[in-house]
């Protein structure tokens, strides 16, 4: 099994990460502040939910930290690992979801998490998971290139095979099968990152390497996302753009309630419902069989941006390399 995981180091990092993310978002918004709710779970553990609403930039932003314990892993956590059914577990993580006011500013999501499962007769099994993805309403090539080059830069120190694998996994995961369309332009998604190590490695992995990768992903998020907010926060918009934003937010709701394993895990493990569903946008509209007008900016979202692409090597525009990650 290799080196033993340092659970306290992970918990400490995640708690500090939540604080730093909240500070960064408050500074960028410049008006609203996060409400702080500590909660306890009846089955063991708890967390701290922090939500910002009605800001100058962010209509709603949530950053949740949780650390929960249990005697049996929920079905959502054992679907791909049936051998772990009945194992005791500990799970901890930070989840961030940002829904801006301006339709030209994309929504974004970040999650980093750690699991450890314990069987009475075997050594504990641990793994990391997480990633980030971007959901634009009105797309811009330069935003997509910057986002994916930031993701690639975070992965590159760990091997050339890492970004392509986790970029593809993100494209596959954040896909609404019932709509046959992506939720957004993707980013990174990884799971089951444990003693076997990262893609392209020699299979020995180790806790230190896997934990370092999780930190690299989390630390790259502000440098990937905040410049996009700054770029578009003052763009003028009207009722048409706002209506389209609310309509597309419906897809976000559909994914989180129908497809997302994290939502299922939280609900199945008896987590705090308000904290689990803080990811949902505050204002949403559903329109029956609505379709964009051909040739419109709304149609371009579907035709050009909601199509998996190798954005990190997109050569049809001139763009600077991804900015260095801001330290967290």
Enumerate the active-site residues: 109
Q: What are the backbone dihedrals phi and psi of residue 52, each rounded to the nearest 5 degrees, phi first?
A: -110, 130
Taking the C-alpha atoms of residue 328 and residue 326, their distance in angstroms, rounded to an integer, is 6
User: Are 49 and 272 spatial neighbours (Cβ–Cβ below 8 Å)?
Assistant: yes
Taking the C-alpha atoms of residue 151 and residue 131, their distance in angstroms, rounded to an integer, is 9
Is 109 annotated to bind a ligand? Reply is yes
User: Are 198 and 155 spatial neighbours (Cβ–Cβ below 8 Å)?
Assistant: no
Is 111 annotated to bind a ligand? Reply is yes
DSSP element (H, E) containing 94: strand 88-100
User: Are 170 and 186 spatial neighbours (Cβ–Cβ below 8 Å)?
Assistant: yes
Is 215 annotated to bind a ligand? Reply is no
Taking the C-alpha atoms of residue 284 and residue 243, their distance in angstroms, rounded to an integer, is 9
Is 11 annotated to bind a ligand? Reply is no
CA angle 71, 85, 116 (to 5 degrees): 60
Taking the C-alpha atoms of residue 23 and residue 115, their distance in angstroms, rounded to an integer, is 26
Is 112 annotated to bind a ligand? Reply is yes
Is 102 annotated to bind a ligand? Reply is no
Is 113 annotated to bind a ligand? Reply is yes
* Strand ranges of the sheet holding 58-70, from the earlier edge strand across to the other edge: 35-40, 45-53, 58-70, 88-100, 107-119, 122-135, 186-193
CA angle 223, 277, 55 (to 5 degrees): 50
Two structure tokens written together for 150 = 């930031």
Residue ranges of the annotated binding site for substrate are 95, 111-113, 270-272
- Known binding positions: 95, 99, 109, 111-113, 148, 178, 270-272
Binding residues for a divalent metal cation: 99, 109, 148, 178
């Amino acid at each position: 099994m290799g080196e033993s995981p340092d659970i306290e180091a992970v918990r400490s990092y995640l708690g500090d990460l939540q604080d730093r993310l909240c500070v960064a978002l408050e500074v960028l918004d410049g008006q609203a502040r996060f409400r702080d709710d500590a909660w306890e779970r009846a089955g063991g553990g708890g967390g701290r939910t922090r939500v910002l609403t009605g800001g100058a930039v962010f209509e709603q932003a949530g950053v949740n930290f949780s650390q929960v314990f249990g005697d049996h892993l929920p079905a959502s956590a054992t679907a791909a690992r049936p051998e772990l059914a009945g194992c005791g577990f500990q799970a901890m993580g930070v989840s961030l979801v940002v829904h801006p006011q301006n339709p030209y500013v994309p929504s974004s999501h970040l999650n980093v998490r750690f699991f450890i499962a314990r069987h009475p007769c075997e050594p504990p099994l641990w793994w990391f998971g997480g990633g980030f993805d971007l959901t634009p309403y009105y797309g811009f090539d330069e935003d997509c290139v910057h986002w994916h080059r930031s993701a690639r830069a975070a992965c590159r120190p760990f091997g050339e095979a890492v970004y392509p694998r986790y970029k593809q996994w993100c494209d596959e995961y954040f896909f609404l099968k019932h709509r046959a369309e992506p939720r957004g332009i993707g980013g990174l998604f990884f799971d089951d990152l444990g003693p076997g190590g990262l893609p392209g490695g020699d299979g020995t992995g180790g806790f230190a390497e896997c934990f370092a990768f999780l930190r690299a992903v989390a630390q790259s998020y502000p440098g990937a996302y905040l410049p996009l907010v700054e770029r578009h926060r003052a763009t003028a918009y009207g009722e048409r753009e706002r209506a389209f934003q609310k309509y597309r937010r419906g897809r976000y709701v559909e994914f989180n309630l129908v497809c997302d394993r994290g939502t299922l895990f939280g609900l199945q493990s008896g987590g705090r419902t308000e904290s689990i569903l803080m990811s949902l946008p505050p204002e949403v509209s559903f329109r029956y069989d609505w379709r964009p007008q051909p040739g419109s900016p709304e149609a371009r979202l579907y035709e050009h941006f909601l199509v998996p692409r190798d954005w990190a090597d997109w050569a049809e525009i001139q763009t600077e390399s991804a900015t260095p990650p801001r330290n967290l």
